[in-house]
Amino acid sequence: MKGPRLFTTRFRVRYAETDQMGVVYHANYLVWMEVGRVEMMRELGFTYQRLEAEEGCVLPVVEVSCRYRAPARYDDLLEMETRVLAVRGSILKCGYRLRRAPGDEADESGEGALLAEATTTHIVVDRELKRRLLPEACAAALAGVLG
């Protein structure tokens, strides 16, 4: 059995994302998870904009967990690996691994040092915040990358 499909998004740490010590402020990792999730959905053929405008559904985060392993710093080149962990009914759970991009001069190992691991759980709701199912095509696309 093959594992879940990984979706990788690359970006560089901006100065505004760091604190006085030059270390990325912890809340920025949540923003980067959203970037990874949005790009994963886009690769699967669904944008958040389309889900909201055409399908009338939104996916608020109801739970998040993040384990910080090493600091990210200004100008580091990073890779966010995003994957679907579960999709059923009105629940979507995603997993994330943030690494320094292999070969980035800040990565002494040359292998892409692991900086953080995280999960988010989302519930699908309509515009009135009432629970609903994911649109069928979106649910099928997400289930198709579980592995």
- pLDDT of 12-65, one tens digit each? 999 999 999 999 999 999 999 999 999 999 999 999 899 999 999 999 999 999
Catalytic residue among 19, 75, 104, 126: 19
- Taking 50 as the threshold, does the pLDDT of residue 1 lie above it? no
Compute CA distances 65 → 72, 73, 119, whole Å.
18, 21, 5
Is 107 assigned a catalytic role?
no
Give the angle subtended at the CA of 89 by the CAs of 136 and 29, to the nearest 5°: 95
Whether 13 and 78 have beta carbons less than 8 Å apart is answered as: yes
Q: Kindly report, residue by residue over 90-100, the tens digit of the pLDDT.
A: 999 999 999 99
Separation of alpha carbons 5 and 8, rounded Å: 10
> Is the pTM above the cut of 0.85?
yes
* CA 60 to chain CA mean position, Å: 13
